[in-house]
Structure 1
Amino acid sequence: MTRSSFARDWMLFKASARQNAKLLPNRVSLHSGERAVPRSNLPKGVHRVRRKVVSGVRYHFYAWRGGPKFWEGTDPNPKEPDFFHAFSQCGTPVSPAEYLTTHLVDDFLSSASLPKAERSKADIRKWLELFREEFGADPVAMFEERASRGEVNNWRKKWLHSPKQHDMAGTHATRVLNWAVEEGKLKEHHCHKLKKLYQSNRTEIIWTSGDIAQFNKHAPKWVQRILTAGCETGLRAADLVQVKMDQFEDTPHGKRLRFRTSKRGQIAYIPATSALEKLIAETPEGQEVLLVSELGRPLTARWASNQITKWRREAQIPPWIDGREKTLSDTRGTAATRLLNADLSLRQIAVLMGWSVRYAAQVIEHYAQVSPDESDAVLRKLNRAKSLSQDTKM
């Protein structure tokens, strides 16, 4: 996608003019409530900002205006050696025209702002590399202009065929620009609250007992195990393929799975239903993970999901009334019902699934409505769980 050279030159001109204005002596900045403080014995070029906090006043020191922050404290004129050492590690300033988006991406990816989860890091790197491909040669100051919002929206149009990817592109662009503002590399940007296309509401799409029975008539045993594990645990595909046999613990009434979820990093305790206990019992001795491929190798989340899709088509599982096909992710509504039957409270189910209590109740209630053979028993348990939830609040 090629942007108009006129638009780019116009934004460069505006950005340069504003950056030059910033360099005027004795200028006071009131942006975002920040107030410049007169320099005294600070190293040449250091930009110091005074900010009020609950505990008093703190000073933030940047290697240069728009440069990286290297120090923070309550003393407006630090004299300790660590201060000067930290400043010396910042390198030399670059002019606004030289600080490009590719530099910004590098700085962000090497910062402490990345999440700890490897999967999240990989997602961020993927999207920021795509962001770099489009805007890498442009100065970061371009994003201080209102017209840059249109440029980012034009870039996102590459993924109009996939609303979820379209939205992810905007999410990660905003993430790195927010960081740039926080670190003093940008004064502001205009890419907040970009319009989203994807609407994630699959609560009504569930695997009924009839769907599962039909699926199991066609799918090989190792694929059946994937669907069963999804329906009985409610774990996301990325977690499901990581479940190890030594994570199952004995309880006074059976077994449970003790597992740290990848998305929130919380430990979930999932009671083993009779179907899950059967799955455990059928697992060959010496097999480290619960789910493996036909050749006995560990699965990836994508491969597991693709196999469910492949054999769902083979089994001719009917789509939902609006045409959406059932996926491995849609087993979570079924799992919520199974866990309710295993005597988990609505709150426990909500925590496990990452849902609100109200949302968990809606999913289970919908399951009961579309699965007539289980509706009466499920609704009785759901009503009892709702009552217990209300009593807990009182």
Structure 2
Amino acid sequence: MPVSAKKKPDSTMLQSVLNEFQDTTIWADLAPRTQQDYIKQIKVIEKKFGSFPINGLADIRTKAVFMKWRDELAKKSRRQADYAWQVLARILSWALPLGKVPANPCEKGGRVYRGNRSENVWASDDESAFMALAPAHLHLALQLALWTGQRQGDLLRLEWPAYDGAKIRLKQSKTGARVVIPVGAPLKMMLDAIENRTGTILKNLDGEAWTSDGFRTFWRKARIKSGVSGLTFNDLRGTAVTRLALAECTEAEIATITGHSLRDVRSILDAHYLNRDPKLAESAIRKLENKHKSVN
């Protein structure tokens, strides 16, 4: 049921479009968690613009009005401000070709958040935005990269026999390294839900194996549509290393999963991704406290 469904909204107001979007197959296909995230943002949108006249979207001044609203939200959280903007942009992009709105003033609005430390790392908000706004057939590619730390080419070539229900086995094309990767629960859930287990695990909309160029083109468009800027698919490999480190995995454990050399893992953590992440400092102090308690 739409967020605001106590009474039928005026069909000339933006609220009607917000409600209609929640009755589409696009909405139905979203994961429950994604729907919850959307609902949170839709509540923010309708509070400010539920009574906004649809015809007003065509006014060239409307974009400035929306951007000012986003700037106000950004005073509390830049990430959440971007997410609210992305959700509104997605709803309007659905409504525009159907003639439900005259324009999408949120198109090409950019972002207000990009921390310097995270320039090469997919933050959790980037992941959420991509999962919410990118085409569903690209979701598995994102999760495979995040949960295995493998290169794009190796993942595109990965075939179903490489997955036995618990682990993924592959030989890296660049180094020849053989890796055996235990499959985390979120990734396993996605893999086990797929019925067609012939050929490559990752397939395009036609059910065929991706070409490298085809995948890069679709990925780039999906990333832009999701509002994720300054990041590439290749950055997911380093992001996987970072997340494993923040989960307190050792460098040896990380290398076993990703296939990096220990030196490369150390280089990634030191020079590009963690940059002395505060969470690691907190972990270090906890370990020191525990050591101190055991001695005394």
With the length of structure 2 as denominator, give the TM-score of the two structures. Answer: 0.49
Q: Give the number of the structure with larger relative contact order, counting CA–CA contacts within 8 Å between residues 6 or more apart.
A: 2
With the length of structure 1 as denominator, give the TM-score of the two structures. Answer: 0.38
Structure in which a larger fraction of residues adopt helix: 2
